[in-house]
Amino acid sequence: MKRTIIATVNNTSGVMNRITGLFARRNFNIESITVGMTENPAISRMTFVINVDDERGLDQVIKQLYKQVDVLKVRDITDEAIIARELALIKVVAAPQHRGEISALVEPFRASIVDVGRESMTLQVTGDQQKVEALIDLVKPYGIKELARTGITAFKRGTKKSDFETPKYSIIN
Amino acid sequence: MSPKVKEVNGRELKVENQEMTGSSMLIQALARENVDVIFGYPGGAILPTYDEIYRTGIRHILSRHEQGAIHAAEGYARISGKPGVCVVTSGPGATNVVTGIADAMIDSLPLVVITGQVATTVIGTDAFQEADVVGVTMPITKHNFQVREVDELPRIIKEAFHIATTGRPGPVLIDLPKDVSIASGFFNYDQPVDLPGYQPTVIPNKLQIKKLSEAVTKAKKPAILAGAGILHAGGSKELLEYAEQQQIPVANTLLGLGSFPGTHSLSLGMAGMHGTYTANMTLHEADLLISIGARFDDRVTGALQHFAPNAKVAHIDIDPAEIGKNIETAIPVVGDAKEALRMLVEENGEAPQIESWHQQVNEWKKEYPLWYKEEENTLKPQRLIEMIYEETGGEAIVTTDVGQHQMWAAQFYKFDQPDHWVTSGGLGTMGFGFPAAIGAQFAEPDKQVVAVLGDAGFQMTAQEMSILQELNLPVKIILVNNASLGMVRQWQELFYEERYSNSLFPIQPDFVKMAEAYNIKGWKVEEPNDMQAALKEALDHEGPVLMDCRVTKDENVYPMIAPGKGHHEMEGIKP
């Protein structure tokens, strides 16, 4: 099952290395990782999308992350009200006669055209994973020359139900 | 702040907040951490630190290979309960301690390892003796640091000792670039440790303790699996108290030997691949399995799908990540083993009604004790261990490598006391036992330390006989010499149709002469009848000794759980 996990970590050199190394050696399957500074420059925030077999696998990922001295807080936010966004840059093959067609696709996705070349156009799309994938599928027939995706970064929504501070996961049942 | 004065090996060290070099800070900090011995080996990038060692006179034991130094630090840590400190240089010095760091990691031994590093100005340029030691050791340390600024050094050392010794102990590495150790900075060691991401749970949750206590009362077939976590926590007394209060039989893991007295009527001996039939069957039949400070290693559990099929599992561990890692756990208890046991004793739950269970367990004990066949004209290795047990009165600190001799020592030396056993459990490191014995002897200078080693493993770190020679350290080396890589040979016999690929030694060195080259008294014993007398003489000898004991070459370790099998499928349970 696919889970979205966020972690706040000390913004020290090598912390990314620690985390990715941990995932690799524990045989955890990561789909994406994003990392960036938070409002506090000493602290970074990581968002992982991982694939785990079952609850126990998920439990292990979270516990192993917690074991890292530089990891401050870990949460599985998959089942919570979240805003999850990804940015993708798509360079599509676009002969001049197709440009209009492609431009028409862009609009309903609230994507934008950020570069136009003689034979190609570069689209930028932001949104949750499904939306990004839907646009990629749509432009595929034209031919994708290059594709770059940032991976998901996620946040809990500002308005929430009452149990905000109750962690989803506890070591005591 | 008034300057403090501390005595280190007869010399006064002024310990105060003042300007000093990085290497000076390091030694000051070690003094503040009450480090009384460092194991190490000098080299280019760590020269400033060695200069400071020279000037302050802090005790340093020079190994002859860095691997010897790190295993000695491990042996010291296991027996003293204090962190072992190891100092080596950059590049090859650091990579030579990698095995020991991995060993300490998997067996949860507190170490602080200081590696020299090339100057920060040339890091990343493939400089002379440069290796990415922080990168290399990241997966095998509890945490590691590279010091970039000299002012960070006191904080980092303090954090390193804190992390190594608290929670689940483990090795912490500090990579110290040469320019940082030369640079001057302000030494302040009085800042409290502030690690928001590292807050181990020591005191267990009371409700979980209660839940466990209630489960024990209701159990019909309870069993305790006692691991090394009890030893690290210093909780053997509490375990004895609790097991006696509730009358629960206790099996030990390999590393947990000594946490419960081996000769106690509730003791089942060791569980696992070469454990006793009784211990394994008890775990197999149990309806409540209480694991304390053990991590369900595959050598303990056998095939997971057959492990303790009827048991509700309670797991007490200071490392929450161990709970549920291998075995589904019904009653998790996160916390220090000693604290948990103390709370359980205090809870004083009603003892379970389990006479028939005791009867069953005692029947197994009577019917299937550990065994070996006595034969004429050959010294059985098991008998050798029994003799060592008898001659030392079970009082010696015993260290081993990995393999057959290790299993025989675990089976036939009945460890009655905690902290008398040093072995490489998780990593299974050859060459561990001898230097570990050296470290153990430093931790307990007045105790008899016996290194029970295979003839193969000994040759991996034999050069450390220099330390024995230099300091007249009375470590007793006993080689269980079967002229082979015994356990490899056993597996080749059992699972590879006797194709003994590279496991038999066609020639061997003259071990006695080797010992004599280091001015160590040596004995070679080939006649089984000479063994007892020779052993007595060797153990009574004041200085270091080496005994080359020629044992039965093709003896196998039994009983045994073959790979992929469960506890109930043990082989070789009877003569």
Which residues are CB-contacts of B413 (< 8 A; sequence separation ≥ 6)?
B385, B388, B389, B394, B398, B421
The answer, yes or no, to whether residue A164 has pLDDT greater than 50, is: no
- Predicted TM-score (pTM) of this structure: 0.93
* DSSP code string of B337-385: HHHHHHHHHHHTPPPP--HHHHHHHHHHHHHS-------TTS--HHHHH
Sign of the C-alpha dihedral computed for residues B372, B373, B376 and B378 taken in this order:
negative
Mean pLDDT of B465-475: 98
Strands, E, within B106-249: which ranges? Answer: 111-117, 143-146, 171-177, 184-187, 222-226
pLDDT of residue B299: 95
Give the ipTM.
0.90
Mean pLDDT of A105-122: 93
Q: Classify residue B532 by burial, with Cβ atoms within 10 Å: 0-12, 13-18, 19+.
A: middle
The two structure tokens encoding residue B334: 């996160």
Helix (H, G, I), strand (E, B) or coil at B568: helix
pLDDT tens-digit readout, B509-551:
999 999 999 999 999 999 999 999 999 999 999 999 999 999 9
Residue A36 CA to its chain's centroid (Å): 12
Angle formed at CA B380 by CA B374 and CA B385, multiple of 5 degrees: 115
A66 touches chain B (CB under 8 A): yes
pLDDT tens-digit readout, B116-138:
999 999 999 999 999 999 999 99
**Whether B549 contacts B537, CB under 8 Å:** no
pLDDT tens-digit readout, B161-205:
999 999 999 999 999 999 999 999 999 999 999 999 999 999 999
Q: Does A25 sit within 8 Å of B324, measured CB to CB?
A: no
As annotated, the residues of chain A forming the CATH 3.30.70.260 domain(s) are 2-76
Q: What CATH number should be reported for the domain whose range is A2-76?
A: 3.30.70.260
Mean pLDDT of B444-461: 98
The answer, yes or no, to whether residue B298 has pLDDT greater than 70, is: yes
Tell how strand A153-156 and strand A82-93 pair up.
antiparallel
Residue B521 CA to its chain's centroid (Å): 27
pLDDT tens-digit readout, B402-415:
999 999 999 999 99
With cut-offs at 50, 70 and 90, classify the pLDDT of residue B2. Answer: very low
A83-154: in CATH 3.80.30.20 = no
Which residues are CB-contacts of B106 (< 8 A; sequence separation ≥ 6)?
B425, B426, B427
- Please give the domain boundaries of chain B with CATH numbers for all domains: 4-187 (3.40.50.970), 206-367 (3.40.50.1220), 381-550 (3.40.50.970)
Q: What percent of chain B has pLDDT over 70?
A: 97
The answer, yes or no, to whether residue A73 has pLDDT greater than 80, is: yes
Please give the DSSP secondary-structure letter assigned to residue B560. Answer: B
Angle formed at CA B554 by CA B550 and CA B559, multiple of 5 degrees: 110
Distance from CA of B147 to the nearest CA of A (A): 11
The answer, yes or no, to whether residue B17 has pLDDT greater than 70, is: no
**Whether B420 contacts B236, CB under 8 Å:** no
Please give the DSSP secondary-structure letter assigned to residue B192. Answer: P
A42 touches chain B (CB under 8 A): no
The answer, yes or no, to whether residue B434 has pLDDT greater than 90, is: yes
B544 touches chain A (CB under 8 A): no
Which member of A10, A56, A171 has the closest CB to residue B332?
A171
The answer, yes or no, to whether the previous bond of A41 is cis (omega within 30 of 0) is no
Those of residues 199-238 in B touching chain A at CB distance below 8 A are: 205, 207-208
pLDDT of residue B160: 98
As annotated, the residues of chain A forming the CATH 3.30.70.1150 domain(s) are 83-154
**Whether B242 contacts B341, CB under 8 Å:** yes
First-last CA distance in chain A = 21
The answer, yes or no, to whether residue B254 has pLDDT greater than 90, is: yes
Q: Rounded distance, CA A96 to CA A118, Å?
A: 8
B139 touches chain A (CB under 8 A): yes
Q: What are phi and psi of A166, to 5 degrees?
A: -80, 115
pLDDT of residue B357: 98
Q: Does B143 sit within 8 Å of A56, measured CB to CB?
A: no
B198 contacts in A (CB within 8 Å)? 69
B143 contacts in A (CB within 8 Å)? 69
The answer, yes or no, to whether residue B574 has pLDDT greater than 60, is: yes
A33 touches chain B (CB under 8 A): no
A56 contacts in B (CB within 8 Å)? 324, 328
* DSSP code string of chain A: -EEEEEEEEE--TTHHHHHHHHHHHTT-EEEEEEEEE-SSTTEEEEEEEEE-SSHHHHHHHHHHHHHSTTEEEEEE-TTS-EEEEEEEEEEEE--GGGHHHHHHHHGGGT-EEEEE-SSEEEEEEEE-HHHHHHHHHHHGGG-EEEEEE---EEEE-SS--TTTTS-S--S--
Select the more confidently predicted residue: B111 or A56: B111
